[in-house]
Amino acid sequence: MKFLENITLKKKKVDEPVSVKNISKNIDENVTKIKNELGDASDLFINFSKTNDNEGLGYVMIYINTMVDSNIMSDLSIELKEILKLKPNISKPEDYGDTLFDYFSGFRSCSQGSEIADVCNELISGSVVIFVEGCSKFLSIKMKAVQARAIEEPTSQTIIRGPKEGFTERIDINIGLIRKKIKSRDLRVENLSVGSVTNTTVSLVYIEGIVKDEILQEIKNRISKIKIDGIFDGGYIEEMIKDDRYSIFPTFMNSEKPDAVAGALLEGRVAILVDGTPYVLTAPALFVEFFQVSEDYYHNFIITSMLRLLRAVALILTLLVPGTFVALITFHQEMIPTALLISIAAQREGIPFPALIEALLMETTFELLREAGIRMPKAIGPAMGIIGALVLGQAAVEAGIISSVMVIIVAITAIAGFGIPSYEMSNTIRLIRFALMFMAGMLGLYGVFMGLIVLVLHVCKLKSIGVPYLTPVAPKINGGNKDTIFRFPFWSMKYRPAGISGTSAARVDGDETVTPSQKEKQEFR
């Protein structure tokens, strides 16, 4: 209880708002108030000065040194002093605030205010705040230091053909990359602040006229209701606003590629950008999207359809192969061809574990190797995974702990798992695979089929921002399956996804705009 009391007291202190105090005309009083609010931080710089060396009008520049660009601070100081010297005829010091604002607003991003709370918010956002003696307003000038990783090729979404540039940790650069792809005046960007302590900038990007208003408003409402101290990645928002918070299935797409996000916006989706992370969320997200990649649209539609079909086969293999093998070996040997059954029985002779324990042991070992390879340094991670799998597999077979056929089953499952493009969906399938293995070991194929029925029922009831997860299969949409498992040619895909975009017409044939008829509007059946 002592620990819980400490948490409560700390939380109460964090949630206390900055006290609302008006700015005084005395700059010393203002500096004292700011020091009290910011705890007299060591990187809080306060520079007092006067228009002349020992006399004249007094003013002060306040900024957090670690947040501003120090290279241009000296230029700003000289420029400010010259401006104040050139205005000796101003009779009221109160007018200096408006004078400086009129001057700097022409070529810098600046603002005015009259409360200490606003001053603190500007300082922690990377601005320089200026007070002039006798003036009850402050001037804030944006001077945030530019610290960003260069635009590089995405590390988690490798492609052979297509744009190689990826998002960075700076939200303004990411918005610029999207605008570079979509040069439309209908592209809209709305900024929100999330996190009572971090005040992280979250931007909603969408195309007006294409986005569905109900979906956009729902996303805004859900984000506005988030109550949390800090946001550092889109995963925080995804977990807080998803429809079914206990489902392990991802209902938001995330991408490092501007072209993938731009394509989602053209379909009527909303992009959610979080400052400080290169991953951009797009919503709503459908189940079939997690088996598609942006490169699918850069190859011939026949080749793309074959690759998507191959990913669907990979999903089935990685989900069902271990459980089915355990069920057949344990309960349904009569279903295995005689020659194959004799071969498997010979390999399993002397194995001390039942098939379920053997499969769980091998799958768990492989997952450990996979996790270790990811967390280890890049120079030795892949080598460690390959060598570990070979050495352990061979040693286990020679020691009579694992049969050779089980090594083959686990290898097929692992290779098929790597065929799923989405890392989040791959993790989900891996977890479900273990559940199906347990049910197969207990109930045989009956358990596998029961598990699949429960899985399908769960996926059918899932929604992403109110849109059914299995759209356009369930509910079925006429003509809505042209970009699912198979990709039809571009000239045949005339409409945007129904239920997601606010408009159906998507292209123009010649001089005549394609307008869907009442039957072709792709409404939910």
Are 305 and 389 in a shared domain?
Answer: yes
> Which range among 25-39, 48-62, 323-337 has the greatest average pLDDT?
323-337
Q: How many residues comprise the chain?
A: 525
Average pLDDT in the 165-188 region? 91
For position 286, what pLDDT does the model report? 92
3-state secondary structure of 419: coil
Whole-Å CA distances, 84 to 78, 87, 205: 10, 5, 41
**Is 462 inside a domain boundary?**
no
pLDDT digits (tens, 9 = 90+) for 347-362: 888 888 888 998 998 8
**Is 477 inside a domain boundary?**
no
For position 54, what pLDDT does the model report? 59
Provide the pLDDT confidence category of residue 143 given band limits of 50, 70 and 90.
Answer: confident
How many Cβ atoms are within 10 Å of 123's Cβ, its own excluded?
Answer: 22
**Is 194 inside a domain boundary?**
yes
Q: Give yes or no for residue 523 having a pLDDT over 50.
A: no
Are 106 and 187 in a shared domain?
Answer: no
Q: Give yes or no for residue 9 having a pLDDT over 50.
A: no
Residues 147, 169: Cα–Cα separation, whole Å: 9
Are 309 and 436 in a shared domain?
Answer: yes
For position 42, what pLDDT does the model report? 78
**Is 180 inside a domain boundary?**
yes
Provide the pLDDT confidence category of residue 253 given band limits of 50, 70 and 90.
Answer: very high
Listed residues 411, 446, 481: the one ending a domain: 446
Are 274 and 377 in a shared domain?
Answer: no
Domain boundaries, position 52:
17-142
Are 108 and 194 in a shared domain?
Answer: no
Give backbone dihedrals phi and psi of 228, rounded to 5 degrees, phi first: -155, 155
Are 314 and 369 in a shared domain?
Answer: yes
For position 150, what pLDDT does the model report? 80
**Is 485 inside a domain boundary?**
no
Cα 31 vs. chain centroid, distance in angstroms? Answer: 40
Please give the mean pLDDT across all residues of the chain.
Answer: 82
Listed residues 253, 285, 317: the one ending a domain: 285
Q: Which helix (H) or strand (E) holds 141?
A: strand 138-142
**Is 12 inside a domain boundary?**
no
Smallest CA-to-CA distance from 252 within 214, 280, 277, 218 is with 280
Are 118 and 49 in a shared domain?
Answer: yes
pTM of the model: 0.81
pLDDT digits (tens, 9 = 90+) for 417-446: 888 999 999 999 999 999 999 999 999 999
Are 362 and 418 in a shared domain?
Answer: yes
Are 319 and 410 in a shared domain?
Answer: yes
Amino acid (1-letter code) at residue 379: A
For position 144, what pLDDT does the model report? 74
8 A C-beta contact, residue 283 and residue 224? no
For position 513, what pLDDT does the model report? 39
For position 91, what pLDDT does the model report? 59
Q: Give yes or no for residue 344 having a pLDDT over 70.
A: yes
Per the structure, the count of domains in the chain is: 3
Find all residues with CB under 8 Å of 133, minimum gap 6, and list them.
25, 26, 27, 57, 58, 59, 93
**Is 120 inside a domain boundary?**
yes
What secondary structure letter does DSSP report for 132? E
Are 242 and 364 in a shared domain?
Answer: no
Are 305 and 260 in a shared domain?
Answer: no
Q: Which helix (H) or strand (E) holds 45?
A: strand 44-50
Are 314 and 418 in a shared domain?
Answer: yes
Listed residues 241, 256, 285: the one ending a domain: 285
**Is 222 inside a domain boundary?**
yes
8 A C-beta contact, residue 492 and residue 465? no
